[in-house]
Amino acid sequence: MSSQVVLSHEVLRDTVLALAETVSGHLDIFGALGLLLGFAAGMMPRREAILLASAACAASFALHFLRLGAHTGTAMCVISVAQSLAAARFGGRARRPAWFVPFFGLGFVAVLGLTAATWNGWPSACAGIGALLATRARLQTEAGAMRRLFLGASLAWAGHNLLVGSAFGLTCDLLTISGLLVAMGRSAGGRPAAA
């Protein structure tokens, strides 16, 4: 009886390891998805849509960075998801809930603390700076101001992604920067984007 239990545990272990190996080979799907969502976020016409696309992008890249072992990037993406969802739901109101600004204040503290806790030199510095700029962007009520801050955040993230070897992340940054510049140009050209 005990040899059957040992055998079943070995089969279960081997099955789980085979499944993990199969799934890990496809986690770059999340990098590709993050790339598409990042570009789309910059092109969205309204601030809520920008933020929801940004949340989905960050969730995808959190899994991608986890696979790469880029722990600061992973942590910053998790913070980004929470902030983007909160800002999309409550940040555009004329009267924000009392907890809203303190929530983002805690976000600044979390960015600094998690950057320090996962410190890996320049990649961590770039991810932390990008997260701080993006945190500030999510507090904006106007899409143009949000886009300008996200542009700075994307430049910092480009440094992170170059240093950690994320082709998906770097491509996303370049596309996001392009999308933001197109949207900003369109808005400056007399066709204001909806706030």
Q: Domain containing 49: what range?
A: 27-188
Three-class SS state of 69: coil
Half-sphere exposure of 189 toward its Cβ, with a 13 Å CA cutoff? 6
Residues 65 and 130: their CA atoms lie apart, in Å, by 15
Per-residue pLDDT of 101-147, as tens digits, reads 899 999 999 999 999 999 999 999 999 999 999 999 888 888 889 88
Per-residue pLDDT of the chain (195 residues; tens, 9 = 90+): 555 655 577 877 777 776 666 656 555 889 999 988 987 877 788 888 988 998 999 999 999 999 999 999 999 999 999 999 998 998 877 788 999 989 999 999 999 999 999 999 999 999 999 999 999 988 888 888 988 998 999 999 999 999 999 999 999 899 888 888 988 898 887 654 444
Residues 123 and 69: their CA atoms lie apart, in Å, by 11
Residue 169 located in a structural domain: yes
**How far lies 72's CA from each of 77, 105, 135, in Å?**
9, 19, 15
Residue 121 backbone class (left: φ over 0; alpha: ψ -120 to 50; beta: rest):
left
- pLDDT value at position 114? 97
Residue 19 located in a structural domain: no
Domains in the chain: how many in total? 1
- pLDDT value at position 13? 78
Residue 92 located in a structural domain: yes
Residues 28 and 18: their CA atoms lie apart, in Å, by 18
Say if CB 180 and CB 172 are below 8 A apart.
no
- pLDDT value at position 40? 85
Residues 90 and 193: their CA atoms lie apart, in Å, by 20
- pLDDT value at position 195? 46
Chain centre to alpha carbon of residue 178: 17
Residues 76 and 117: their CA atoms lie apart, in Å, by 12
Residues 60 and 31: their CA atoms lie apart, in Å, by 6
Compute and round to an integer the Cα radius of gyration of the chain.
19
Residue 11 located in a structural domain: no
Residue 193 located in a structural domain: no
Residue 36 located in a structural domain: yes
Residue 18 located in a structural domain: no
Residues 147 and 150: their CA atoms lie apart, in Å, by 5
Residue 81 located in a structural domain: yes
